[in-house]
Amino acid sequence: MSQESDKSGSELALPETENHDIRETRTEETKPIKSLHRYLWEQISTLGKKRTELPAYDPQLHGPLVEFEIPQGYEEIERYWVNEPYSFVTVLEKRSVFHYFVVEPELTLYERDILERIYDDLRDILSLGGIGSKKDKEEVLVEQTLTLLSRYHANLEYSSIYRILYYLKRNFLGSDRLHSLMLDPDIEDISCDGVDIPVFLYHNKYRNIKTNISFGEEELNSLVIKLCQKSGKHISISDPMVDATLPDGSRLQATLGKEVTTRGSSFTIRKFRGDPITAIDLIDFNTCSVEMIAYFWLAIENGNCAIFAGGTASGKTSMLNAVSLFIPPLSKVVSIEDTRELTLHHDNWIAGITRKSLSSGNTGEVNMYDLLRSALRQRPEYILVGEIRGEEALTLFQAISTGHATYSTMHAGDVQTVVNRLDSPPLNVPHVMLQSLDILSIQTQTFVNDRRVRRTQSIVELTGIDAKTGYIRINELYRWDPATDTFKRSGDSYAINKIMQARGWNREKLISELETRERILEYMRKKEMRDYVSISLVVQAYTANPEMVLKAIDDDNLEEIISQEF
């Protein structure tokens, strides 16, 4: 292992003694004297207990663990817990600019000394034990910490022990000073641009916002190495750039040193949603209408192919993941991604992911093209490709032409740009093969009433090639109207009509199928059945027994029925 890698666990990320003048500093002189009631309770509560047991935290008896005073000149806009009772976030405003502050427990000098000593001893103790799950790690960490405190004969209140344990858990099991940011569900992206530069966030409510967290050069280098090691990747001065996936599924891009990023080491984390966006969320967010989602449901159920195109952070992958839940339950699915983002509740699913070379000679590299070629030998019915950007595009369209239902994303802002990119290097898809694609959905990130939103700008069907001009014929089915923030249908669906003919339906049957799906979606929205497992189970139930699902909606017990039957 390189010298750089050895730094990752050598130092303890302690709380800042100064935090931009916004935290109240706790010292031995200002520390409140323990009340007689609290003292007696602590003595009585420890009788008969093992030294490695700690009573549950009680704010009435132990007092608050976090203290904060709004600095002069700032106005507090919002405050919320991210790790109660240990850390919370406060959003402050000064001169019409928002600031994001993470507030954690303050330690006295004595508590800091104890924490440093425990940290050094625990590194040796924990490295010798075989520890399994995260829960086991936390239990062992607490037990060993209390054992060490007993050996030290440290005279600490319970509140001090809780604060020390917080930092030990944060640094051993969490993400050091980024831990609270990783726990905040409102954060999409975390960006550190260099040494002594505040960390910036993309917040769902406040958009780009500056935090009170920054890193010195040595601490930042150590953190970057640690993040890469947690992702199973190596980073060093000789190989200073890494794309990786963190254990929780978040995407990491990191650089080390000043050779490639002159302001020092940097990293960007795109947080992973453990609970992915679903079709019901898309309706609630007004990204799509109920009618559009019902259209996708019927189209995907019958094997129509689609590409979701748009700019960065326009919701392409979210759309792909959401509509993929409509894949029939027993169909064989193969997904191919650079970093794992798709989440399906599907048993017959092979989830493929690329791998970088294990040596300088590209030995052992597995790229998107390799995975796609391999997937075609696995007899899949549905292929999901995270993003097409290279030679795999031609193979993808060959798969579409041979009858595989295929779905993917790509960076392009409109239909013409999609066609131009597919026609041109490095994708190089022959123009005649483009007509095999059924549906093209254009996603956009825009603003409605000064609020950032994602919308499906248009849904277009490719209907063939004009014999005279050689241009792709398109049928624009839906378009978003920014003036009213609604979706307008502009024609009849070519893809749905093909389904009607293939299934032997008449027009009334087709309309009935679409209306039934809209009814199910509206019911699920009303009942807040929005998680991806519930949607997958409803799709599975409807595929197996449509009458049962409709009766359950009439009886208002759909959630109960699917939990019992499936």
| The predicted structure's pLDDT at residue 1 | 40
d(CA 296, CA 280): 13
Q: How far is CA 290 from CA 52, 309, 317, 511, 530, in A?
A: 55, 20, 19, 14, 14
| Superfamily of structural domain 279-565 | P-loop containing nucleotide triphosphate hydrolases (3.40.50.300)
| pLDDT score recorded for residue 15 | 60
Place of tokens 């195109």: 309
> CA 77, CA 91: separation in Å to the nearest integer?
5
Higher pLDDT, 266 or 138: 266
Query: 516-538 pLDDT, tens per residue?
Result: 999 999 999 999 999 999 999 99
Q: What integer pLDDT is reported at residue 467 of this predicted model? A: 83
Task: Name the pairing type of β-strands 486-489 and 405-411.
Answer: unpaired
pLDDT value at residue 52: 59
With respect to CATH, is domain 75-177 assigned 3.30.450.380? yes
Residue 549, SS3 per DSSP = helix
**Residues in contact with 483: Cβ distance below 8 Å, sequence separation at least 6, in sequence order:** none
Report yes or no: 326 and 520 within 8 Å, Cβ to Cβ: no
Strand residues in 212-274 grouped as ranges (E): 241-245, 251-255, 266-270
What's the CATH fold of domain 186-270?
A: Beta-Lactamase (3.30.450)
Can you give the pLDDT at residue 361? 65
> Rg for the chain (alpha carbons), in Å?
28
Q: What is the 3 state secondary structure string of 79-103?
A: EEEEECCCEEEEEEEECCEEEEEEE
User: Which range among 7-16, 50-59, 284-293, 530-539 shows the weakest confidence by mean pLDDT?
Assistant: 7-16
Cα separation of 398 and 381, whole Å?
14
pLDDT digits over 262-300, tens only? 999 999 999 987 789 999 999 999 999 999 999 999 999
pTM for this structure?
0.81
pLDDT given for residue 27 in this prediction: 42
Instruction: Return the pLDDT at 249.
Output: 86
Provide the CB-side half-sphere exposure for 107 (13 A, CA). Answer: 23
Residue 416, pLDDT > 50, answer yes
Predicted confidence at residue 129, as pLDDT, reads 62
pLDDT above 50: residue 180: yes
d(Cα 510, Cα 517) in Å, to the nearest integer? 11
One fold for both 75-177 and 279-565? no
Q: Where are the domains of the chain?
A: 75-177, 186-270, 279-565
